[in-house]
Structure 1
Amino acid sequence: MKKLNDNAAIEKRIDMLKALQSNWFALLFLILGFFAYGLPAVDYFTAVPGDIGDARFNSVILEHLFQWLTQKGTSLWSPTFFYPFRGVLAFSDNHFGSAFAYILFRSLGAGREVAFDSWFLVGISLNIICSYLVIKRLGLNGFSAAAGAFAFTFALPVLAQESHAQLTYRFAIPLAYYAFFEMLETKRLFPFWRVAFWTAVQFFCSIYLGIFLIYLLIASFCGVFFWSRASNFFQEMRVSIVREPIHKKIAFIAILAISTIAVSYLLYRYQSISASYGFKRSPSEIMATLPRISSYFLADHSRLSSWIGGFVTDIPMRHEHQMFFGAGIWALSIYGAAVAWSKSEMKQLAKIALFTFVFMFLFTLNLGGISLYRAISYLPGLSAVRAVTRIALVMLMPISILVAIGTQQLWNKIDIKNMSAKLVFALIIIILLGAEVVTYKIYNTSIAVWAAQQTALKNKLTMPLTADTILYVSGKSSDPSFVTELDGMILAQDMRHPTLNGYSGNAPPNYLDPSPCTSFHNRINAYAKFQELPLAAANVLAARVMVVALENCEHEPIIAGSGKIAASQAEHIQLSLSDITLDQSFLKTKLSIQNNSEADFNTLRSDGPALRVSWRFINEKSKNQELNANWEPRQDMALTIAPKTSASIDLLAILPSLPGNYQFQVSMVQDGVEWFHNMGMKIVSTPITVTTTK
């Protein structure tokens, strides 16, 4: 009887272990991720992940899609910001593939901020669920698959992108990867319809991640061929699809065609709009965001691992290079990679995952300015992919598989009858993976801050809006321009009006900052020039604009000039100095600018360098009197001077370090274009004496 009881106890423990490896463990990891990061990131629906920059921009795009579905007259590709420019949705990600969750919660009555938080949490949930199902289908047990899925969803590079919520939805990556892996392993072409479908979904969630997913699939393809050296691969694939039933062939062709056409249309729209506006990324900008070896040590927001990258001090755009996966993830993935040379049944999967990661690592690595990636960055469309470091979010697919393999190998080393040891091991893995997430320094912004921004703006509206009103918010000189732009975008969106304000990954040509002393006419004029509209049409648009000013300007806001300063105007500009004082190491003076020409003199330029003041000190004993020598200091001006009138500005110049008699000379310049004194304007000059050294 005792023996029977002992056997029953053993069987009960085995059943418990099987339950431990079931889908319930995935739920446990999901709950851990939610309470360690997800809910704290949204501060239990009282805050929004990230700052008041990109988070609010993503909110605007999601709200635009909601309004497009629920209101008549809204253009899909031309939201109400950057008005009246067209096609501005293609200036950045569009959220076509992920907006369903936001639209659902907005339809249920949630406000835009709560709907945004819900959308964010749905994305996290889909990521861990889909990656768990895929890793389990690859042959891993439930516990190991859950560990790998947790790594895929909550690795440090993912958390570091909390300000870029457009990168949240990655659930299609594991689904496309698994279909592709199945196709390669079985040498059947039929699963490729799922590859095409899920790749298309990822493109519609984020074009960035869609492109990186293509890199992942190419790397996986190379990995299978490197390790298996399959012969007659393509022949077997062709034969396999011929053998499929006719209804499967029709479905295969239909879904493949629809997915291809959908992605092609999306990329065509982006390419055509980009070409019409002349958008380009410079090679140097792309090189600055290519991963370096040091990038994989950076985790500045981790309380546990930030010290590891402390030695890295000379990396540009450091915030984009946060690619340290986490100590636990690295440890388990390295152990999983070692399985590739063992006798484990998982060795083939480990080999392919390892090769895939190494391929992507080497392909994108910037080693002292040398990179394989640079060769393809010149291809049409790929030059728009600026932040290549975000490929870490896709690299996590092979890394998460290696984490799962490493976890399973360790799990298998423990006697299945030793329930306590298994539970202790499971707890260690949870702590190893969860510690980085629990101690991560979350960055979010209170919803109250979002609301306060809008309340301040609405209080500035002193008159009712007409049906055709165009809103324009001019900001405070102390605020970054993107804050003002987003303030205006949300105000206009909430009030169902277009706005001249705009913020995105790109901007229309000649779009000057919304500073308090810059006129909204500059944006109207930029559009008129771009569209080659007559002055009368521009004036009609300008008459519809209502300015919401957060800070008053001391003078009339400036309307920018265009192009190179004309010599015929430069020669009629007269400078004079007054109220000169020498105070310790500085010379203070008032510079008067008289416009004797027949046209307004605008120091601001919409499509080129602004007009600026410059000065120099010439030692009266020096023989170096070259006309264009030693004009180094610059001072900006914000002036529009009407014909036959003048304006003045204060100058503060650092005195020469050596005592002596000098001529203090002042001129004007349009940098990169011409000096005014070379076009006929007289340099103003006054003698000064420097009596003491600094």
Structure 2
Amino acid sequence: MAHHAVLLSGLRVTHGDEGDARFVHYVLEHGFRYLRGDAAHARFWDAPMFHPAANTTAYSDPLQGVLPLYAVWRAVGMSPDRAFQFWAFTVTSLNFLSALWLLRKGVGASSGAAMVGAVLFAAGSSRINQANHPQLLPQFYSVLAVGALLALARPETSRRAGAGWAALLVAACVAQLYAGFYWGWFLGFFLALTALVALGFPDTRAKLFQGLRTHGPALLLWGVVGVMALLPLVQHSLAAAREVGLRSFGEAEGMVPRFATWFHMGDTNWLYGWTGRLKTFARIPVEGEHRMGLGVLTLVLAGAGLWHARQRPVARLLMGVVLVTVLIATRYRGGLMPWWLVFHGVPGANAVRAVCRMGVWMLLPASVGLALFLSRQAREGKAWVAALLGSVCLLEQGQSGSTFDVAAARADVQWVAGQVGSGCQSFLYSPAGGNEPSWKYQIDAMWASFERGVPTLNGYSGNAPPGWALEPVIRADAASAARLDEAVRAWARARGLDVSSICRIETPPPH
């Protein structure tokens, strides 16, 4: 469901386009070469792009929490492109297995229902619609954190066992932040929101206070350890924020969910692709980020499953969290956006630009609700009904997303690398009259830097260092060529570079 396009191509293609997907791959490959001890990657936080700027890895997600899942495939001899594909397969498999564990052990769903719910979590439409942002794939740490929280809430969990669950909860939160900021921040936000919702029901309020009395010391102890473990990430991220500045709400405004966002499936969905042409969805700004729908039947059954199980605290909490989230995150007519208060009032929220990505988080309560509904059908002797409904729900998730040819992208990189002379101390790839988007040339240069072991002035990330004015990097005409030449001289003066030591590559690939 998640990677059929890659598998059916015989691994010839990879999900996404040659922009964000290859950038995420670049960060992982840089991390692997750091672990391997390559001289050009001796400092993890100083990836050799935007040369000679420092702390460039912190401009975006460093992905340390999922780096081992890539490094292991590279260590056994896979090429970078193949290792990246298997990294995606591994991450999706772990999403599935963690959700299966949570639904079986934490929620008590039947095995068949848990399987369907776990597939929904790992390969739901909203997640696969974000496949061009592979940093959004790894969410299994969050599932482990939720499972640990459920264990701590059980009255039969002893202090000794609770210490282990508290350690898992904190470790999962720390690892999720190291795996990617969005899911790490959303995990903290939704845990806090769950605690607030729990205060609204007498039984869950009692469970919350009892859990804190019983397991509070262990949570405090492991929490201190977790904070210490996060210090390197926090320090480098704050340093990057001081250098490049924080997001303004204007940058996030176009990606605050509309009412239609919660139902938008995108034009590549197998069953609902035709809805992408409807004005309600087509006129949404930054439309690709708003594809957070899960399908009519899936939403109905997931909601019904939670409602029928409302006597269970976990079901009521999930319904409450979903309701509050939709209410505070949705943009209303007239431009009213309650999220403005969250953006300016909650620590870290001003680093969340694509707010609507929280729709992917809704896969967790949706998978719980669907599993509970299907389990109920099975208990009532309607296993065939459960199988049929579960199959249709999964069919609703089917997507035919974009892909790019791995060999073609690699050939462009090899061509650029071949133009970097042995005496170059750094280089800039700024093709004259190139027909591809500027970001593709930037990333081609970054990957060519790997091949030659030479840093590049080119760069592509969530941010750029102050004074770097090499975007767009295409020499389209005399005016743009003069602008780039001056930008290179200004950058060299500001960063103490000898302009004559910078090799210039200005010819695009022959094709």
Counterpart of 2:360 in structure 1 is: 393
Q: Do residues 94 (structure 1) and 62 (structure 2) align?
A: yes
| Alpha-carbon contact 1:223-1:352 (below 8 Å) kept | yes
Instruction: From 416, 428, 436, give the equivalent of 1:457.
Output: 416
Instruction: From 481, 486, 494, give the equivalent of 2:443.
Output: 486
Counterpart of 2:337 in structure 1 is: 371
Matches within 5 A, 1:465-504: 465-466=422-423, 469-475=425-431, 476-504=433-461
Query: 1:238 & 1:347 partners in 2: Cα distance?
Result: 20
| Alpha-carbon contact 2:199-2:205 (below 8 Å) kept | no
Q: Do residues 272 (structure 1) and 239 (structure 2) align?
A: yes
- 1:466-496 alpha-carbon deviations (Å, 9 max, x no partner): 2x52121113443221011001000011211
- 1:97-133 alpha-carbon deviations (Å, 9 max, x no partner): 0111211111111111100000000000000000110
Length-normalised TM-score, structure 1: 0.66
Deviation at 1:456, TM superposition (A): 3.1
Matches within 5 A, 1:19-418: 33=1, 37-41=2-6, 43-73=9-39, 74-137=42-105, 138-186=107-155, 190=163, 191-229=165-203, 236-237=210-211, 239-241=213-215, 255-277=222-244, 279-300=245-266, 301-308=268-275, 310-312=278-280, 313-340=282-309, 347-368=312-333, 369-379=335-345, 381-414=348-381
Change (3 A) 1:263 1:150: same
Counterpart of 2:504 in structure 1 is: 547
Query: 1:442 & 1:238 partners in 2: Cα distance?
Result: 45
Deviation at 1:527, TM superposition (A): 5.5
| Alpha-carbon contact 1:219-1:356 (below 8 Å) kept | yes
Q: Which has the higher helix share?
A: 2
> Gaps spanning 5+ residues in structure 1: where?
1-32, 415-420, 532-536, 553-694
| Alpha-carbon contact 1:470-1:545 (below 8 Å) kept | yes
Partner SS for 2:182: helix
Deviation at 1:238, TM superposition (A): 5.1
Q: Do residues 446 (structure 1) and 411 (structure 2) align?
A: no
Q: Do residues 512 (structure 1) and 470 (structure 2) align?
A: yes
| Alpha-carbon contact 1:457-1:550 (below 8 Å) kept | no
Query: 1:457 & 1:103 partners in 2: Cα distance?
Result: 25
Paired AA for residue 389 in structure 2: I
Partner SS for 1:331: helix
Change (3 A) 1:460 1:237: closer
Query: 1:70 & 1:551 partners in 2: Cα distance?
Result: 32
Work out the number of aligned pairs and report it.
486
Deviation at 1:146, TM superposition (A): 1.3
Query: 1:234 & 1:329 partners in 2: Cα distance?
Result: 31
> Gaps spanning 5+ residues in structure 2: where?
476-480
Change (3 A) 1:220 1:239: closer
| Alpha-carbon contact 1:297-1:308 (below 8 Å) kept | no
Change (3 A) 1:87 1:295: same
Deviation at 1:254, TM superposition (A): 5.4
Change (3 A) 1:376 1:141: same
Paired AA for residue 14 in structure 2: V
Instruction: From 381, 387, 396, give the equivalent of 1:436.
Output: 396
Paired AA for residue 100 in structure 1: P
Deviation at 1:72, TM superposition (A): 4.4
- 1:229-282 alpha-carbon deviations (Å, 9 max, x no partner): 55666763454248x9xxxx5xx66543222222243123212221123x2322
Query: 1:270 & 1:524 partners in 2: Cα distance?
Result: 29
Deviation at 1:408, TM superposition (A): 1.1
Query: 2:205 & 2:91 partners in 1: Cα distance?
Result: 40
Deviation at 1:303, TM superposition (A): 2.5
- Larger RCO: 1 or 2 (CA < 8 Å, sep 6+): 2
Paired AA for residue 40 in structure 1: A
Partner SS for 2:396: helix
| Alpha-carbon contact 2:427-2:502 (below 8 Å) kept | yes
Paired AA for residue 224 in structure 2: A
| Alpha-carbon contact 2:195-2:208 (below 8 Å) kept | no
Paired AA for residue 144 in structure 1: A
Query: 1:230 & 1:413 partners in 2: Cα distance?
Result: 28
| Alpha-carbon contact 2:198-2:205 (below 8 Å) kept | no
Deviation at 1:185, TM superposition (A): 4.4
Paired AA for residue 490 in structure 1: W
Paired AA for residue 156 in structure 1: S
Change (3 A) 1:80 1:220: same
Q: Which has the higher strand share?
A: 1
Query: 1:172 & 1:445 partners in 2: Cα distance?
Result: 29
Deviation at 1:306, TM superposition (A): 2.7
Paired AA for residue 51 in structure 1: D
Query: 1:524 & 1:413 partners in 2: Cα distance?
Result: 75
Deviation at 1:378, TM superposition (A): 2.0
Length-normalised TM-score, structure 2: 0.89
Query: 1:288 & 1:334 partners in 2: Cα distance?
Result: 28
Deviation at 1:330, TM superposition (A): 1.2
Query: 1:254 & 1:111 partners in 2: Cα distance?
Result: 42
Query: 2:464 & 2:411 partners in 1: Cα distance?
Result: 26
| Alpha-carbon contact 1:48-1:446 (below 8 Å) kept | yes
- 1:22-62 alpha-carbon deviations (Å, 9 max, x no partner): xxxxxxxxxxx3xxx32423533211110111111111101
Q: Output the aligned Cα RMSD.
A: 2.4
Query: 2:29 & 2:111 partners in 1: Cα distance?
Result: 38
Partner SS for 1:383: helix
User: Percent of aligned positions with the same letter in both sequences?
Assistant: 22
Query: 1:144 & 1:234 partners in 2: Cα distance?
Result: 28
Change (3 A) 1:442 1:498: same
Asked which structure has the greater CA Rg, the reply is 1
Paired AA for residue 49 in structure 2: F
Partner SS for 2:429: strand
Counterpart of 2:478 in structure 1 is: none
| Alpha-carbon contact 1:58-1:165 (below 8 Å) kept | yes
| Alpha-carbon contact 1:357-1:399 (below 8 Å) kept | no
Change (3 A) 1:396 1:217: same
Q: Which moved more, 1:392-401 or 1:110-119?
A: 392-401
